[in-house]
Amino acid sequence: MDNYYVGLMSGTSLDAIDGALIRIGDSGGLEVISMLSTEFPEHIPSQLRNLISGKTESIHALCSLDTELGEIYAKVTLDLLSKSAYKPHDIKAIGCHGQTIRHQSGHKNPYSLQIGNPSVIAEMTGITTVADFRARDIAAGGQGAPLVPAFHRAVFSDPENARIIVNIGGISNITVLPRLKSHNAVSGYDTGPGNCLLDAWSTSCRGHRYDENGNWSASGAVNSRLLDSLLNDGYFSKSSPKSTGTEYFNLDWLETSYPDVTELRAEDVQATLAELTAHTIALHIIREGFDNNEVYLCGGGVHNKDLTERIYHHLPKAKLFTTEKLGLDPDYVEATAFAWLAWCTMEKQTGNLPAVTGAHHPVILGGIYPA
Ligand SMILES: Nc1ncnc2c1ncn2[C@@H]1O[C@H](COP(=O)(O)OP(=O)(O)OP(=O)(O)O)[C@@H](O)[C@H]1O
Ligand SMILES: [Mg+2]
């Protein structure tokens, strides 16, 4: 029997909510039926930014935004269904990642907080909602991240060829998929900044939320002193498992790493930041010994031509594609992953990879909020 699931994802870029409606067969075969990306209402990103940066510590602000985001996620779901002429009762469950406000997996009392109230989503849509995916992995001693490698393994692995999946969102993360026949473990972690510094510098210097196609960075020249200073950061040489966020890689980090940055030509800084993202993605792939293999890109960064050309330049021996080649739209891999993770939860199957998150054992992820 076919089952239908909706996945909802909004990441660190705070650009939009991505929704994917998928069909999963009993054996796990998956088909994406419909996709929809909806920008946040204008007042939301700044409120989220204040909570994420710690500028706002108000419990009222947090909880009220939790409810409002739940309503927005519900509306995106209903829009996605009406676009594809499916009804709420056709859908087994929604997998909602939620918006990360804080991720403190290394803390003495570790936690990861995503908001977007799942009770509100279940009530407004009439669809069972699975949320809070990271908490159980953390309770089992894991980092609660990354969770998508299990999905990458399920849909992108190949019996004969090792593959690398690179997601370029606000932060960049890679999944290393050894060829299935080798029985080697999958690994996955954040490589550092994706689009976050490019977006932040573009917003601050030009008022453009992002650098369309990387045209602005392509007009500048890489400043090697700036690049060397940024590459000196300890995160890049740290071994995995490791994860990071925009609370670390932001304009304060840039200015602390290179106090004279505002004296450089703005387009040269943008070129250097694009080079930093490309260089650090490639660096980790080379370190893994997989620079001779197939590399598949996804996430919003695939639309930045200057950035993808730089990655290409650093990985001349790799076969570079987007996930389109494997049948998944690169803008919806993460949303599809959370639909799949909700399927795992509803089927009582484990969804974490202990070798990736560091958990003591595999666990069933998420809380279920019945329709
Ligand atoms: N045409 C484009 N040109 C340049 N950059 C683009 C373009 N389209 C999207 N982007 C970049 O992609 C970003 C959004 O990517 P994406 O939605 O994958 O990130 P995210 O929401 O942070 O996701 P996640 O954290 O889950 O990986 C934008 O903020 C922008 O920087
Ligand atoms: Mg996004």
Question: Reduced to 3 states, what is the DSSP secondary structure of residue 143?
Answer: coil
Number of domains in the chain: 2
For residues 133 and 155, membership in a common domain is answered with: no
CA nearest ligand 1 atom 12, residue: 300
Q: What is the pLDDT of residue 182?
A: 87
pLDDT of 5 > 80? The answer is yes
Q: Whose CA is nearest to atom 10 of ligand 1?
A: 300
137 has pLDDT over 80: yes
Q: At which residue do the structure tokens 């909700």 appear? A: 342
Taking the C-alpha atoms of residue 218 and residue 199, their distance in angstroms, rounded to an integer, is: 15
**Domain identity same for 141 and 93:** yes
- Measured from the alpha carbon of residue 197, the closest ligand is 1
Is the domain of 140 the same as that of 238?
no
Question: Are 179 and 322 within one domain?
Answer: yes
Q: Collapsing DSSP states into helix, strand and coil, what is residue 244?
A: coil
To which residue do tokens 């936690």 refer? 111
Examine the domain organization and report whether 164 and 137 are in the same domain: no
Instruction: Calculate mean pLDDT across residues 120-141.
Output: 98
Atom of ligand 1 nearest to the CA of 198: 31
- Ligand 1 pocket: which of 206, 248, 303, 332 to mutate (most atoms within 8 A of CB): 303
Average pLDDT, the chain: 96
Distance between Cα 111 and ligand 1 center (Å): 26
Mutational pocket test of ligand 1: of 217, 304, 307, the residue with most ligand atoms within 8 Å of the beta carbon: 304
> How far does the centroid of ligand 2 lie from the alpha carbon of residue 360, in Å?
31
The CATH number for 360's domain is 3.30.420.40
Q: Is the CB of residue 170 below 6 angstroms from any atom belonging to ligand 1?
A: yes
- The verdict on 76 and 200 lying in the same domain is no
Residues 317 and 234 in one domain: yes
User: Per-residue pLDDT for 154 more than 90?
Assistant: yes
C-alpha 159 to ligand 1 mean position (Å): 31
124 pLDDT more than 90: yes
Instruction: Name 217's Cβ contacts closer than 8 Å, sequence gap at least 6.
Output: 198, 211, 267, 270, 271, 273, 274, 304, 306, 307
Compute, in angstroms, the gap from residue 260 CA to the centroid of ligand 2.
31
Ligand nearest to the CA of 13: 1
Structural domain including 48 reads: 3-145+332-369
Ligand 1 within 6 A of 169 CB? yes
Cβ of residue 351 lying under 6 Å from some atom of ligand 1: no
* Number of the ligand closest to the Cα of 299: 1
**Which atom of ligand 1 sits closest to the CA of residue 209?**
29
pLDDT at 1 over 80: no
Q: What's the pLDDT score for residue 146?
A: 95
Q: Is residue 199 lining ligand 1, measured as CB closer than 6 Å?
A: yes
Rounded distance from Cα 306 to ligand 2 centre (Å): 19
What pLDDT, on the 0 to 100 scale, is given for residue 2? 81
Q: Could you identify the residue written with the tokens 């419909």?
A: 34
Task: For residues 238 and 279, state if they share a domain.
Answer: yes
Residues 140 and 155 in one domain: no
Rounded Cα distance between 237 and 207, Å, is 33
The predicted model scores a pTM of 0.96
Sign of the torsion formed by the C-alpha atoms of 42, 79, 144 and 176: negative
Name the closest ligand to CA 214.
Answer: 1
- Minimum-distance ligand 1 atom for the alpha carbon of 97: 26
Containing 4, the helix (H) or strand (E) segment is: strand 3-9
Residue 366 near ligand 1, beta carbon < 6 Å: no
Q: Are 243 and 193 in contact (CB under 8 A)?
A: no
Q: Are residues 54 and 126 in the same domain?
A: yes
Q: What percent of the chain has pLDDT over 70?
A: 100
Q: Is the CB of 301 under 6 A from ligand 1?
A: yes
Residue with the larger pLDDT of the pair 64 and 54? 64
Report the nearest atom of ligand 1 relative to the CA of 331: 18
One domain for residues 156 and 260? yes
Residues 76, 192: one domain?
A: no
**Mutational pocket test of ligand 1: of 10, 12, 15, the residue with most ligand atoms within 8 Å of the beta carbon:** 15
Q: Encode pLDDT of 167-197 as tens digits.
A: 999 999 999 999 988 888 999 999 999 999 9
pLDDT of residue 365: 98
pLDDT above 90 (res 28): no
| 13 CA from centroid of ligand 2 (Å) | 6
What percentage of the chain reaches a pLDDT higher than 90? 94
Work out the pLDDT band at 34, boundaries 50, 70, 90: very high
The one-letter amino acid at 363 = V
Total residue count of the chain as it appears in this document? 371
Of ligand 1's atoms, which has the minimum distance to the CA of residue 211? 4
| pLDDT tens digits, one per residue of 293-335 | 999 999 999 999 999 999 999 999 999 999 999 999 999 999 9
